[in-house]
Amino acid sequence: MNVEKVISKNWGNPDSFTLKAYQKSGGYQGLKKALELAPADVLAEVKKSNLRGRGGAGFPTGLKWSFVPKDNPKPKYLAINADESEPGTFKDRYIMEDDPHMMLEGIAIACWALGAHQCYVYIRGEFKHGAERVNAAIAEAYAAGIFGKKVMGKDFPLEVYLVRGAGAYICGEETALLESLEGKKGWPRLKPPFPAVVGLFGSPTVVNNVETVASLPSIFEKGAEWYAKLGTEKSGGTHLVCLSGSVNRPGVYELSMHTTLRELIESDQYGQGLPAGRKVKAVIPGGSSAPVLTADDLDTAIEFEALKGKMTMAGSGGVIVMDDSTCLVRSLWRVARFYAEESCGQCTPCREGTPWQTRLLRKIEEGRGEPGDIDILLGVAHAIAPFPPIGLGNTICALGDAAALPTHSFVHKFREEFEAHITEHRCPYGDSPWGHFGGWA
C-alpha cells in the first residue's frame, strides 16, 4: 500500500541535511503555524493527531505531554532520545543524518507546547556522523534565529544542546537517559515519580524519540486531521520500519500503518522477497526484544494494535527476518547475549538471569544440552519476566522484559528446534547456522 511520505520525504535529495534544502522543501512552516497557537492548543492538536511515541512503547505523545504539571515553578526540559540501539533498529540514524532539521523543528514545536526553554538531544556515542550533522544543523538554526533568545521572532528563548552517549544500550531507557544526562552511569530510576513530574535535575521533563518529534512539523503544516487520517483509528500518521535479515533489499521504509509484514518483505518497493528457494521461518517485528512471529503471522499489519493482538509489539520498528536455513537457537543466543552485555547490573533477576540464559543457549547450540535445559531456560526467563502478557517484569526497567520475551517466544514457537539440538547433540545446521546470507560474500 502506497503512502504519502512524511518523515523520509527529503531523504536522498541533494544536501537534504542543510537548512537551505529543508526550508526549500517547506521546512519550518509547521513551527511558524504552531507558534501562532497558544501552547495548550498545540498540545490539543498533537492529541488530535493520534501521534504515538516511536521509541518502543507507542505511548500517545499528547497524553505524555499533558502529564507535565502546569503549576510546577521549576524549569521544564525536553530530552530527545536519540540513543537508538535496539538490535534491528536504524531509522533515527537516517533522520539525523539525512534530515536533522525535521527533528529540530519538532523540538521547537514541542518546547513551545511544553514551555521548555532547554532541550538536550541525547545521541548514542557511536553515531559520530549523525552527531556532526545534528550539531551543524543546530548551529544553522541558531544563526537563522530559529533557536536562541527568540524562536522565529517570538519572545520565547530556546537552547538546544547535543550530548553524545558513550556506549550503553540502557541509556535508551528514559530514566537511565536522564541519569546519563546528569553525568552518571545509566541506572534506571524507580517509577513513579515519572519524568514528566520529576525528571532531569529534578524538574518536569518530557523524553521523546527522534521520529516522534520529527513527525510534529507535518502535523502543524498540514493539520492534525490530515495526519490522523493517514493512520488507523488509534495510531496517526505513517511510520518508519527498518527491515533487516534474510531479505533481498534490507533498508528503512516509510509505511502506512496498514502495511503487513508480508507486503514489507515481499513487495518490490520494499524488501523484494527472500533469496530464491528460501522462505520465512521467523520474523521479529519490532526490534530484538519483541516476541518472535512465525511464517503464519505474515498477514499482520506492522502497527501497534495489530501486533499487540499477536502478543508481540511494534516496538522500535525493527523487523528482522530469519529464513528457513537459519538456526534459531543460535539466533536467540545472539539476542540473549546482547541483553546480558547491556544489563546495567542494578536488578538481580536481570543481572544474573541474562548471562545464565546466554550460557544455557550456548550450551544447547554447541550440542552439550541436556534434557531439562529448556525448562531451566524458561524458568530463568520467567524469573526475569513472566510472559504473557508483556510487561510483567521483575525488574526496575523494561530491559528485563526485553531479555526474557525473546526466550519465551522462541522456545514456545520453535521448541522442536531446541529439542533437536539436545537429542542430536549438535546444531542441525552445522557450520552454516546463519541462513542464506550468513556465509558472507
Partner 1 sequence: MAEPLFTPQERKTFDEGIAEILTHYPADRKSAAMLPALRLLQTLKGWLPPEGMVLVAEKLSTSRARAYEVATFYVMFHTERPGKYTVDVCTNLSCSLWGAEKLLAYLEQKLGLKAGEKNEQFFLRETECLASCGTAPCLQINEDHHESLTREKVDQIFAKLT
Amino acid at 324: D
How many residues contact partner 1, by CB under 8 A? 60
Cβ closest to partner 1, residue 68 vs residue 181:
181
Angle formed at CA 173 by CA 171 and CA 174, multiple of 5 degrees = 100
Choice between 208 and 288, CB closer to partner 1: 288
- For residue 341, report the phi and psi dihedrals to the nearest 5 degrees: -60, -40
Q: Which is nearer to partner 1, 227 or 338 (CB)?
A: 338
**89, 208, 289, 407: which one contacts partner 1 (CB under 8 A)?**
89
The burial class, CB within 10 Å (0-12 / 13-18 / 19+), for 3 is middle
Show the 3-state SS of 347-399. CHHHHHHHHHHHHHHHHHHCCCCCCCHHHHHHHHHHHHCCCCCCCCCCCCCCH
CA pair distance 170, 438, nearest whole angstrom: 28
395: left (phi over 0), alpha (psi -120 to 50) or beta: beta
Query: Cβ of residue 29: shortest distance to partner 1, in angstroms?
Result: 29
Place of cell 517485528: 285
Q: Give the residue with the Cβ less far from partner 1, 20 or 279.
A: 279
279 is a contact residue toward partner 1 (CB under 8 A): no
- Determine if 251 is a binding residue for partner 1 (CB under 8 A): yes
Which is nearer to partner 1, 64 or 164 (by Cβ)?
A: 164
Coil, strand, or helix at residue 322?
strand
Residue with grid cell 534530515, as numbered in its chain: 99
Name residues contacting partner 1, limited to 365-384 (CB under 8 A).
Answer: none
Q: Pick from 26, 125, 273, 275: which binds partner 1 (CB under 8 A)?
A: 125
By CB under 8 A, residue 409 contacts partner 1: no
Q: Which is nearer to partner 1, 46 or 168 (CB)?
A: 168
- Among the listed ranges 8-16, 23-31, 175-183, 298-306, the one in contact with partner 1 (CB under 8 A) is 175-183
Q: For residue 62, state whether it binds partner 1 (rule: CB under 8 A).
A: no
Nearest CA among 284, 306, 304 for reference residue 293: 284
Residue position matching grid coordinates 534544502: 21
Ordered strands of the 280-284 beta sheet: 251-255, 239-245, 318-323, 280-284, 293-294
Grid cell, residue 188, equals 534506571
Is the Cβ of residue 43 or residue 313 nearer to partner 1 in the bound state? 313
Q: Which of 69, 72, 115, 128 binds partner 1 (CB under 8 A)?
A: 128
The single residue listed with the C-alpha cell 531456560 is: 377
Q: 3-state SS of 387-422? A: CCCCCCCCCCCCHHHHHHHHHHHHHHHHHHHHHHHH
Region near partner 1 per CB under 8 A, out of 35-43, 148-156, 293-301, 328-336? 328-336
Give, as ranges, the residues between 285 and 324 that touch partner 1 (CB under 8 A). Answer: 288, 318, 320, 322
Contact pick of 60, 87, 172, 217 for partner 1 (by CB under 8 A): 87
Query: In the stretch 217-246, what mask flags binding to partner 1 with x, by CB under 8 A?
Result: -------------------------xxxxx
Nearer to partner 1, 113 or 322 (CB): 322
43 binds partner 1 (CB under 8 A): no
Note whether 189 binds partner 1 by CB under 8 A. Answer: no
Residue from the set 54, 76, 101, 164 that interacts with partner 1 by CB under 8 A: 164
346 near partner 1, rule: CB under 8 A: no
- Cβ proximity to partner 1: between 24 and 185 the closer is 185
End-to-end CA distance of the chain: 33
Characterize the bridge pairing of strands 280-284 and 293-294: antiparallel
Contact residues toward partner 1 (CB under 8 A) are: 84-90, 93, 124-129, 159, 161, 163-169, 180-186, 201, 242-246, 250-252, 284, 288, 318, 320, 322, 326, 330-331, 334-335, 338, 341-342, 344, 434-435, 437-441
